[in-house]
């Protein structure tokens, strides 16, 4: 892994803080200074850390709040997906590898990645021998079967979109408490075989099995949200304690052994502490002072210049499959009116959002729900000055407040009260205040409601809270248009009355859904990309969400942290870094 010279990083962050352009390479390179902590050789090819001089110590993490439930089949936050990557395993996983190598699927608890048969409808896995949970019990095919059924029984947010194509899943979605996946899942203890039967071919089935919601857990876990009670793990760490108000402590899993260096290598740190409660400004100061090794939250804009000038050796800039967007509730006034939704899209000053996030060095305007570079993205911008869905501009140019005001008047929603729900972090609050002012400028009586990070995501998903509009970030589960369109706007992901309804807009368009269903079943990549693009255009016209910016990630680590290791999907890998 190459290091980025400190002067280049300093210039990039200083310009980002000023809203200026970043130096060449600033969006896909980053790194700490080249010193002994960062240039020592990494782990052995076998994934073991025994015998390494860097094994030991305590990795100290901090976040402004906890990330919600500890249930890996329910939690849908990037904060805990990152943590679960060193705790839990599925049959397959995304490898602990940097760059594009981390995007492929590798065998994890399964012996190998199989090739499907029966026209892509049947997948046969074989469970590895000798696996144990952190409580000492053997991992069996019965645990695999129970874990897959539990996805439906507990109402996992991706039960429909990721696993609804398994034969019998339709019955499970209608009656979760009695889910059996009859006809769709077979296991054989004698051969350790696990066989899935799908209704239709699914070119992304392996990627969906690699997601933490398909983690293999003990068969006797209750069929309800585990809340603050951790499940036994299979990875190199297990929970020693957990308090959602104070923090978590992880220790080594005494039953872990390395079965695949790619899937789940051993960890360097003996212990990991994860403290909650510091605001983002204080987190930055604590890392600068060496009190913590890493922080989860976005770095406040007013600290970027300082980080670039004084702490460049401790900062890394990395690309994200991520975005900020504003979902609008299509089932509540005023945004049950398409003209009102289009008005907000026209009025959105995406350049302002880039500046509020950290500047052009770390963000760029986003016009559609699929970021560029992912198959299914569409070129151009509908909601900018001088453009519309039938006459897209090449790029986003500027907000069109006059057109937005006209659409609000035409919709008959002028003067209605709108409450915007945001997280109470510095970046999200800044965006929220801007968006409130913009809503007022186009004719609404708008206010902002800030909530803690640990509460806001579940709150805005639940229809019982009657959220009209919110700001949220989103990170792809894997690099596919399905992760943005089907996950966030698919009919099967709208669950009224649930905190696990990631289709926050409550959008369900049957024509768009039919295109997405065809795209998911397409085995030809070019055909799939075309179908996703068609669905993208239909959704763009309906405007259920306001895509705002795509992001790069600014990572700040302590001076002592070595072997910085970042994967595209789970970001800093806690098991790969060392602190001594």
Cβ-contact 341, 544 below 8 angstroms:
yes
Strand order in the sheet with 271-276: 237-243, 247-252, 271-276, 58-63, 294-295
How far is residue 352 from each of residues 358, 364, 425, 543, 561, measured CA to CA in Å? 10, 10, 17, 20, 34
Cβ-contact 567, 93 below 8 angstroms:
no
From start to end of 261-416, where are the E strands? Answer: 271-276, 294-295, 315-327, 363-365
CA angle in degrees (0–180, nearest 5) for 253-259-261: 95
CA atoms 464, 469, 475, 481: torsion sign = positive
Does the pLDDT value for residue 518 go beyond 80? yes
What is the number of other CB atoms lying within 10 angstroms of the CB of residue 441?
14
Between CA 215 and CA 12 the distance in angstroms is 39
Between CA 381 and CA 494 the distance in angstroms is 27
Does the pLDDT value for residue 578 go beyond 80? yes
How far is residue 327 from each of residues 96, 116, 163, 488, 544, measured CA to CA in Å? 32, 37, 24, 9, 6
Does the pLDDT value for residue 21 go beyond 70? no
| Coil, helix or strand at residue 492 | helix
Tokens of residue 94, six digits: 């995304």
Does the pLDDT value for residue 440 go beyond 70? yes
Tokens of residue 56, six digits: 């030991």
Cβ-contact 422, 456 below 8 angstroms:
yes
Per-residue pLDDT band for 15 (boundaries 50, 70, 90) equals: very low
What's the mean per-residue pLDDT of the chain? Answer: 91
pLDDT at position 491: 95
CA angle in degrees (0–180, nearest 5) for 428-434-435: 85
pLDDT at position 267: 98
Between CA 70 and CA 64 the distance in angstroms is 17
Q: Which domains does the chain have, with CATH numbers?
A: 88-214 (3.40.190.10), 320-553 (3.10.105.10)
pLDDT at position 22: 37
Between CA 494 and CA 500 the distance in angstroms is 9
Between CA 369 and CA 367 the distance in angstroms is 7
CA atoms 12, 13, 16, 20: torsion sign = negative
- Burial class of residue 507 (count of CB atoms within 10 Å of its CB; 0-12, 13-18, 19+): buried
Sequence-ordered list of residues with C-beta below 8 angstroms from that of 65, at least 6 positions apart, any chain: 276, 277, 452, 453, 454, 455
pLDDT at position 117: 95
Between CA 28 and CA 317 the distance in angstroms is 7
Between CA 555 and CA 376 the distance in angstroms is 29
How far is residue 159 from each of residues 241, 367, 458, measured CA to CA in Å? 29, 29, 17
pLDDT at position 301: 81
pLDDT at position 33: 34
Q: Element (H or E) spanning 287, and its range?
A: helix 280-288
Give me the mean pLDDT over the 164-176 stretch. Answer: 97
Between CA 116 and CA 128 the distance in angstroms is 19
Q: What pLDDT digit, counting tens, does each position of 291-340 carry?
A: 999 999 989 888 988 999 999 999 999 888 889 999 999 999 999 999 99
Q: What pLDDT digit, counting tens, does each position of 79-101 carry?
A: 999 999 999 999 999 999 998 88
Q: Are strands 472-475 and 315-327 parallel, antiparallel or unpaired?
A: antiparallel
Give me the mean pLDDT over the 105-130 stretch. Answer: 96
Cβ-contact 241, 231 below 8 angstroms:
no
Closest CA to 546 of 342, 340, 334: 342
pLDDT at position 13: 52
The pTM (predicted TM-score) of the whole model is: 0.77
Sequence-ordered list of residues with C-beta below 8 angstroms from that of 304, at least 6 positions apart, any chain: 13, 14, 16, 17, 358, 359, 554
Beta bridge partners, 328, equal 469
Cβ-contact 369, 488 below 8 angstroms:
yes
Q: What pLDDT digit, counting tens, does each position of 446-491 carry?
A: 999 999 988 999 999 999 999 999 999 998 888 899 999 999 999 9
Closest CA to 163 of 388, 171, 404, 434: 171
Does the pLDDT value for residue 35 go beyond 50? no
Between CA 370 and CA 72 the distance in angstroms is 26
């Amino acid at each position: 892994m190459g290091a980025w010279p400190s002067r280049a990083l300093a210039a990039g962050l200083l310009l980002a803080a000023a809203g200026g352009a970043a130096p060449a390479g600033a969006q896909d390179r980053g790194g700490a200074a080249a010193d002994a902590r960062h240039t020592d050789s990494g782990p052995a090819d076998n994934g073991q850390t025994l015998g390494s001089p860097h094994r030991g110590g305590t990795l100290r993490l901090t976040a402004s709040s906890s990330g919600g439930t500890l249930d890996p089949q329910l939690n849908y936050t990037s904060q805990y997906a990152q943590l679960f990557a060193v705790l839990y395993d599925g049959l397959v996983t995304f490898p602990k590898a940097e760059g594009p190598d981390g995007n492929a699927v590798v065998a994890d608890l399964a012996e190998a990645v199989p090739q499907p048969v029966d026209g892509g409808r049947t997948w046969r896995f074989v469970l590895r021998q000798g696996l144990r949970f952190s409580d000492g019990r053997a991992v069996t095919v019965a645990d695999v079967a129970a874990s897959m059924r539990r996805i439906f029984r507990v109402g996992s947010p991706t039960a429909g979109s990721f696993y609804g194509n398994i034969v019998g899943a339709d019955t499970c979605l209608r009656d979760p408490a009695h889910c059996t996946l009859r006809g769709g899942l077979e296991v054989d203890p004698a051969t350790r075989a696990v066989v899935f039967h799908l209704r239709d071919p699914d070119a992304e089935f392996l990627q969906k099995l690699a997601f933490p919601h398909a983690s293999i857990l003990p068969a006797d876990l209750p069929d309800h949200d585990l809340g603050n009670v951790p499940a036994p793990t299979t990875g190199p760490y297990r929970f020693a304690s957990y308090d959602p108000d104070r923090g978590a402590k992880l220790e080594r899993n005494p039953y872990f052994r390395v079965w695949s260096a790619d899937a789940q290598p051993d960890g360097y740190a003996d212990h990991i502490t994860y403290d909650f409660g510091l605001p983002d400004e204080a987190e930055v100061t604590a890392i600068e002072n060496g009190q913590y090794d890493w922080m989860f939250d976005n770095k406040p804009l007013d600290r970027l210049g300082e980080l670039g000038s004084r702490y460049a050796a401790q900062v890394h800039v990395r690309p994200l499959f991520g975005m900020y967007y504003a979902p609008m509730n299509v089932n509540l006034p005023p945004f049950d009116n398409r003209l009102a939704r289009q008005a907000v899209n026209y009025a959105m000053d995406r350049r302002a959002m880039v500046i509020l996030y950290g500047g052009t060095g770390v963000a760029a305007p986003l016009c559609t729900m699929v970021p560029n570079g992912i198959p299914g993205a569409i070129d151009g911008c509908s909601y900018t000055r001088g453009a519309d869905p039938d006459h897209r501009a090449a790029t986003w140019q500027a907000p069109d407040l006059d057109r937005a005001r006209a659409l609000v008047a035409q919709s008959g929603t002028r003067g209605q009260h709108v409450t915007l729900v945001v997280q109470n972090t510095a970046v999200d609050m800044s965006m929220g205040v801007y968006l409130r002012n913009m809503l007022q400028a186009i004719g609404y009586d708008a206010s902002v409601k800030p909530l803690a990070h640990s509460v806001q995501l579940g709150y805005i998903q639940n229809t019982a809270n009657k959220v009209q509009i919110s700001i949220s970030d989103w990170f792809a589960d894997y690099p596919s248009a399905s992760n943005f369109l089907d996950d966030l706007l698919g009919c099967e992901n709208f669950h009224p009355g649930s905190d696990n309804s990631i289709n926050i807009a409550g959008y369900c368009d049957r024509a768009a859904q039919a295109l997405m269903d065809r795209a998911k079943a397409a085995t030809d990549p070019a055909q799939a990309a075309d179908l996703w693009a068609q669905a993208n255009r239909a959704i763009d016209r309906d405007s259920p969400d306001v895509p705002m910016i795509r992001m790069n990630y600014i990572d700040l680590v302590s001076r002592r942290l070595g072997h910085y290791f970042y994967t595209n999907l789970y970001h800093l890998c806690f098991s790969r870094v060392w602190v001594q």
